[in-house]
Chain A
């Protein structure tokens, strides 16, 4: 068990999401930064998709009620274990009664806490992700509160070294496969979507300008503010399925990017779709930060996807080798 000692609102249990029920109106939910979730799980010896705590409001404190291994990935929250500083992207063995504390990150938005064995809440429709809107999944379909206790599954102990170890952060390890930020502006790759052509010459300003992520942004979607882009004449679309990453253009002319809790259906004109492999970076973008869209292609996206897969495979392969080598050395 772990006990939440202190938390802001909207911190939830998340895994990779709930699939197969979108045609019944059920959002996929799941981590906003799927890559951080997967790396955290691999570091503690889990399958990559185990349930984690997604922390997006701080400070967050929890107490371990038994010895276990925890990983902190995603945003650097200056984590402290009983006051001792831990690096980001780090896994470490912890003892019963120790307290882990996360502070507001200076960059990035969300941190993930993975526990060896995973968070053992009852899966709903095949996933442990919390659907806040639906009120199911995770811990009773709600966000975490102080005094909540979460069961942690059991796993054959993986010999994480006493001082812990970490993973190369994806921003560094995959730097050559993702566009660099420009003066703090996150560059997000997208592909024109269904109604792109209807925007005519206006579409140019979609790519050229820098958009700000407005305060009306959450796990459901990001509302962007900037110079509005409008259709010459309004279009009426029939309700259709949408996915995270779709960039919709409501009548206001300021885009909405649907995120992990994206509605399953929509009807606004779609100007673009963020390539799936860039969604984890968008999931770490903070309210008030700036983004710019750059036109991409399926071929470019495939290249980045292969690099991400190779990075994850490399971690999955190396963790047991490293932990076994260290265990062998410590026995000598």
Chain B
């Protein structure tokens, strides 16, 4: 993540405390109180930025309004560590990551958009409207995860909200443009996938030989360009 150009924004302190829990002996999950919104996410990024530099931290994994902190070894004083995390959250101010803007050309509809009809049924909108609402959106990369380089995008128009499928597609192609609940993204690996496909993008989201290997970073803006619409 690049915080170099991040500028601190004043954030009103939240009355609610974050939830801190352990996974095994070496990982701590901090979950922000409140809803899934960008101010909360910005505060998570600020927390990530601060905790990343702790000498005992091996990795940090920012999630959707939460942060997983993975330690190099089991702490001798877990309560003390939790207290420090809580304190760091209290001090964390919103960071506005001024990331890059990534434009992703998309073929909407067509052979890979196997769930477009279901999205139309669910929303009561025509396929043209669903596609238009999707490409007109301004999206922010909230976090990466689930597959190498996969970005969870915030900013979906609530009118095209679509719950995840109960029975996942067994072999969804890498590059499929999908909607999962209030999130959208471009699948990064070919395989089983529970999100709803509405299009396809050729752009390579991850290249292990590159530094950094992932195209997207938290804080980046994403625009989808309707290169072709096959309805």
Contacts and interface: CB of A to CB of B under 8 A. Distances in A.
Direct chain A–B contact by Cβ atoms under 8 Å: yes
Contact of A239 (B24, B58, B63, B78): B63
Nearest to A306: B74
Interface in B1-41: 1, 19, 21-27, 29, 31, 36
A240 interface: yes
Contacts of B75: 298
Contacts of A136: 208
Contact of B74 (A134, A238, A246, A305): A305
Interface string A246-287: 100000000000000001110000100111110000000000
14 contacts: A25-B148, A25-B206, A124-B208, A133-B189, A133-B191, A191-B24, A193-B21, A240-B63, A241-B63, A264-B146, A270-B21, A270-B23, A298-B78, A302-B74
B116 interface: no
Nearest to A23: B61
Could you say which interface size class chain A belongs to? 35 or more
Contact of A23 (B19, B36, B62, B76): B62
The listed residue with most A CB atoms (<10 A of its CB), out of B1, B25, B68, B191, is B25
Contacts, number: 142
B200 interface: no
Interface of B: 1, 19, 21-27, 29, 31, 36, 58-68, 70, 73-76, 78, 143-150, 152, 188-189, 191, 206, 208-209, 212-214
A238 B65 contact: yes
A30 interface: no
Given A25-B149, A26-B148, A273 B63 contact: no
A125 interface: yes
B59 A273 contact: no
Interface of A: 19-26, 124-125, 131, 133-134, 136-137, 190-191, 193-194, 238-243, 245-246, 263-265, 270, 273-277, 298, 301-302, 305
Contacts of A190: 24
Contact of B26 (A131, A239, A276): A276
